[in-house]
Structure 1
């Protein structure tokens, strides 16, 4: 459905299932996830905590815990299935062709090791160069990610830096091997809003410079609005909506996506109360029958508790997994916020995306 054979695809994830064996039973953490990624493209994976975002990306890095089991699926990176690689092959791949920026820079950095040496280490390992040359490249990377006076600060330790500067160091480490695929797992969560904006701007600039593909994990739709080209919305270990950033933000079709967008205030939000999605995600020790979102969905149909919905095609680039898109389904009345987004989508189709944004349209 969403993963097709294409020479431009650097990554194709096909029907991925990941289970975890626990003392309580088997947790079905990832249930049939599929998507693809082209060279130089950014995919944002969004959803609540526990939806499966981080497990998906850790699987792409071969970093799942030992109790993980992958009974089904393919992870094709440049045409090669990552799931068939040995641990030695994974070690050659990680930090080289595929790198990851983790959520908390303080726990990502070694507190006993100088930052310059931490940036230089993957360069020495993967590029097979000496200490002097690796430190020279580390200085170049520090300049690239906007660290001031790198010649002075290359010998600093992590505790001497602010959270935003530490995150820049983590990004430099991730870029040290010139990766073709960069995975960012909520890299701005531990930072304040102004620093978040700086880091997002930095990542966008670096992507244009090095032409890498990015998978960006977040629970905050607002963070990725101007950053990603495609968005995958995850819920209960599944992708429930998938499309371009404009399609997902302005023409959302899944009730869960509606809930996420309603809970995200914008400058146009009229209400002084924040909206939340009622209930909690299902227990994936016992995945629910039918649509996993049915118990939290006020628009749920009778079939939602009986049969899992297929993906319905909204456009060649936009899919949503909801029975509401079945031709037989009744029409529902979403929130004023969603209807306003649909109205903007209609305007975009006639007048173009840029003209709508100039008139004050926002994500």
Structure 2
């Protein structure tokens, strides 16, 4: 597969009254043609900030301190705003968390879908309207000829999310960023949206960056997974490597805390402690204060990305040849096995 997007040593800070928040600290990842890369982690780990920087949609008090974002071998960190306006919506599109706030309540659904087609594809209004109807039909909106004249408040939450997907896919972008697109939806609609995205990805051959804190979603949609913590990617690998052979204690904690249908409140695992204060980033491994397997070196020196396989890397000193042998907690394997059975039953045993 060809490499489509490459993020190199990205560092982003927010300037606040309290001081400089080092939100993103040396993030590196690649995205290949036709793949889905999931970025997972707790709230505040840096998932959304990382991907918004790709679109150059960061807030006014933010600053990309250093690093590169290479798209088609061009560093778009240095791209002027006029060039980014040509890229946004055409080559790189984004689906945001809340479809109601993403849509303009004063514009019809049809005009909102037509807007990128008129701007980037240079279609006339008749052609753009015809294409908008096709897109609504493509994302499963019934009676698109009627719906195109309606406003966002006349759609349900799931339907609004389908409209947002139609807008994002209007120009067949090379990269689609989905920022927790199913968070506000119930489980049934969530499954429909995920199936829709997988189907559309095959049709238009786009690459997807899928941001989520829900590992169950990751198992269903991703090819590769990047785990973020404290503004860094601390483990990356194929979806099977991350779930069946996780190496970082934080990843163990995430998998252990996945709920299943037979989980009781008393059984649900919770990672102890709180995320690090990025106003004053820790000296060593940011996860060390919450890590029951932390060693002295974790408090003194930040671990590098150590190789597990050609596709699997993790930033933990436990992978060092001189580290003691530590096996993942039994809860990790039990939780994943329960989840697999749950998925199988929901899919009719397939």
Q: TM range, normalised to the smaller chain?
A: over 0.9
Counterpart of 1:110?
Answer: 104
TM-score in terms of structure 2 length? 0.94
Partners of 1:20 and 1:68 within 8 A in 2 = yes
- Give, in angstroms, the shift of residue 274 of structure 1: 0.9
**CA shift in 2, pair 1:178/1:94, >3 Å:** same
Distance 2:238 2:278 in 1: 28
Counterpart of 2:312?
Answer: 318
Partners of 1:119 and 1:172 within 8 A in 2 = yes
Q: Secondary structure at the match of 1:191?
A: coil
**Aligned positions of 1:35-184 closer than 5 A:** 35-184=29-178
**CA shift in 2, pair 1:310/1:341, >3 Å:** farther
Q: Secondary structure at the match of 1:75?
A: strand
- Give, in angstroms, the shift of residue 327 of structure 1: 1.2
TM-score in terms of structure 1 length? 0.91
Say which of 258, 270, 276 aligns to 1:264: 258
Q: Secondary structure at the match of 1:307?
A: coil
**CA shift in 2, pair 1:182/1:343, >3 Å:** closer
Distance 2:67 2:323 in 1: 32
Q: Secondary structure at the match of 2:181?
A: coil
**CA shift in 2, pair 1:260/1:342, >3 Å:** closer
- Give, in angstroms, the shift of residue 340 of structure 1: 5.1
2:197 aligned with 1:193, yes or no?
no
2:271 aligned with 1:277, yes or no?
yes
Note the alpha carbon deviations across 1:274-298, whole angstroms, 9 max, x for none. Answer: 1111111011010001000001111
Distance 1:319 1:73 in 2: 20
Q: Secondary structure at the match of 1:273?
A: coil
**CA shift in 2, pair 1:14/1:30, >3 Å:** same
Counterpart of 1:27?
Answer: 21
Distance 1:104 1:143 in 2: 22
Distance 1:100 1:23 in 2: 30
2:284 aligned with 1:290, yes or no?
yes
Partners of 1:42 and 1:216 within 8 A in 2 = yes
Say which of 210, 215, 233 aligns to 1:216: 210
Q: Secondary structure at the match of 1:106?
A: helix
Q: Secondary structure at the match of 1:283?
A: coil
Distance 2:62 2:232 in 1: 17
Say which of 301, 307, 311 aligns to 1:307: 301
Flag structure 1 segments of 5+ consecutive residues without an equivalent: 1-6, 345-356
**CA shift in 2, pair 1:325/1:113, >3 Å:** same
Partners of 2:258 and 2:335 within 8 A in 1 = no
Note the alpha carbon deviations across 1:147-172, whole angstroms, 9 max, x for none. Answer: 01101111111111100000000000
Q: Secondary structure at the match of 2:10?
A: strand
Distance 1:343 1:83 in 2: 42
Counterpart of 1:14?
Answer: 8
CA RMSD of aligned residues (A): 2.1
Count of aligned residue pairs for this structure pair: 343
Q: Secondary structure at the match of 1:226?
A: helix
**Aligned positions of 1:310-349 closer than 5 A:** 310-339=304-333
Q: Secondary structure at the match of 2:178?
A: strand
Partners of 1:145 and 1:202 within 8 A in 2 = yes
- Give, in angstroms, the shift of residue 343 of structure 1: 10
Q: Secondary structure at the match of 2:134?
A: helix
Partners of 1:251 and 1:341 within 8 A in 2 = no
